[in-house]
Amino acid sequence: MEPMIKMNVDNFRIEQIADSGQCFRMNSIENGRYSVIAFGEYLELWHEEGQVCFSCSQEEYEQLWHSYFDMDTDYGRMRKQIDPSDEYLICAAEYGSGIRILRQELWEVIVTFLISQQNNMKRIRKCTETLCQQYGEGKTNFKGNVFYSFPTAEALAEVSEEELRACNLGYRAKYIKRTAQAVVDGNFSLSPLFDLEYEEAKKELIKLYGVGVKVADCICLFGLHHVDAFPIDTHILKVLECYYPNGFPLERYQGFAGILQQYAFYYDVNHGLNAKGTGSSTIR
């Protein structure tokens, strides 16, 4: 029988987290349920009568998922600090109020954001899943189905660039290959990164082949939980040019600018000028 716990959580919408573009292994399965694979574990979660249900024991929740979903952060309090006269940000934050900055595994974030460059969400997911199926560890979940953990640096370092290219990674294959090798050879260690401040961690990450300013910021935000990081990608750049011609007030939002970045990103992707399905280009 499937284990299950249920709880009240504010500012938490599973579908928003899954589609927020920070995590590529959280998928809609059936009946409003979502699956997520992280730290080698498989979880299903869904909303039910205003509560959130997790398919795990209380112990597993406390050990892993509570932290993973960043349950100790008060996102409502963050949103209240947004400048009330900033109409765009207020709308964006309201629209994505169920988003959380997950505490994912650093290695996985490094690799998935190497994959993310000049790529789209659908294909990032596909590439990531292929990589996991090919080089991750096969495990069995509570349903008796097989799932794959995210491949370790050791596993990926052994794979040839050609084999990685066969996972449809394109030119990113060499970035992943070299990065995995650097980590395995000890030329780049991950653990010291956790002790660094945002700016220093970013500087270190940029040393990795294939990691530039934007990807380094994503790794800082999603892999090291440096919520000061404010990654500027094509969507955010467009938003900044359109709504903040005089510059985004980063100083005002020190300590949580990254969360606002996520609201703006999610809002633009799903509701912005090029968003599909809104049938409109208006933003109130």
Partner DNA sequence: GACCAGGGCCGGC
Partner DNA sequence: GCCGGCCCTGGT
262 touches DNA (CB under 7 A): yes
243 touches DNA (CB under 7 A): no
Which CB, 56 or 229, lies closer to DNA? 229
Q: Say which residues have a Cβ less than 8 Å from residue 274's Cβ, sequence separation at least 6.
A: none
Q: DSSP E strands: which ranges in the chain?
A: 5-7, 26-28, 34-38, 41-48, 51-54, 138-140, 146-148
State how far the Cα of 11 lies from the Cα of 2, in Å rounded to an integer: 26
98 touches DNA (CB under 7 A): no
134 touches DNA (CB under 7 A): no
Which CB, 184 or 269, lies closer to DNA? 269
The answer to whether the beta carbons of residues 257 and 227 sit under 8 Å apart is yes
Other Cβ atoms within 10 Å of 255 Cβ, number = 10
Q: Min. distance of Cβ 66 from DNA in angstroms?
A: 22
CA distance readout (Å), 34 to 37, 84, 85, 131, 231: 10, 34, 36, 21, 27
Number of residues that bind DNA (CB under 7 A): 40
Half-sphere exposure of 91 (CA within 13 A, CB side): 12
280 touches DNA (CB under 7 A): no
Q: Min. distance of Cβ 1 from DNA in angstroms?
A: 36
Task: Single out the residue of 11, 67, 119, 133 in contact with DNA (rule: CB under 7 A).
Answer: 119
Of 39, 42, 41, 46, residue with least CA distance to 15: 46
Choose the binding region for DNA from 45-53, 86-94, 192-200, 215-223 (rule: CB under 7 A). 215-223
Task: Single out the residue of 96, 151, 223, 231 in contact with DNA (rule: CB under 7 A).
Answer: 231
State how far the Cα of 19 lies from the Cα of 263, in Å rounded to an integer: 12
Q: Say which residues have a Cβ less than 8 Å from residue 269's Cβ, sequence separation at least 6.
A: 19, 21, 121, 235, 275
Task: Single out the residue of 261, 263, 267, 271 in contact with DNA (rule: CB under 7 A).
Answer: 261
128 touches DNA (CB under 7 A): no
- Angle between the N-to-C axes of helices 257-271 and 87-95, in degrees from 0 to 180, rounded to the nearest 10: 80
210 touches DNA (CB under 7 A): yes
Q: Min. distance of Cβ 51 from DNA in angstroms?
A: 26
Choose the binding region for DNA from 9-17, 41-49, 77-85, 233-241 (rule: CB under 7 A). 233-241
Task: Single out the residue of 215, 224, 227, 239 in contact with DNA (rule: CB under 7 A).
Answer: 215
* Partners of 249 in beta bridges: none
The answer to whether the beta carbons of residues 102 and 115 sit under 8 Å apart is no
Choose the binding region for DNA from 52-60, 67-75, 80-88, 259-267 (rule: CB under 7 A). 259-267
118 touches DNA (CB under 7 A): yes
Which CB, 85 or 254, lies closer to DNA? 254
120 touches DNA (CB under 7 A): yes
Local structure of 73: helix, strand or coil: coil
Which CB, 136 or 231, lies closer to DNA? 231
Task: Single out the residue of 5, 91, 214, 240 in contact with DNA (rule: CB under 7 A).
Answer: 214
171 touches DNA (CB under 7 A): yes
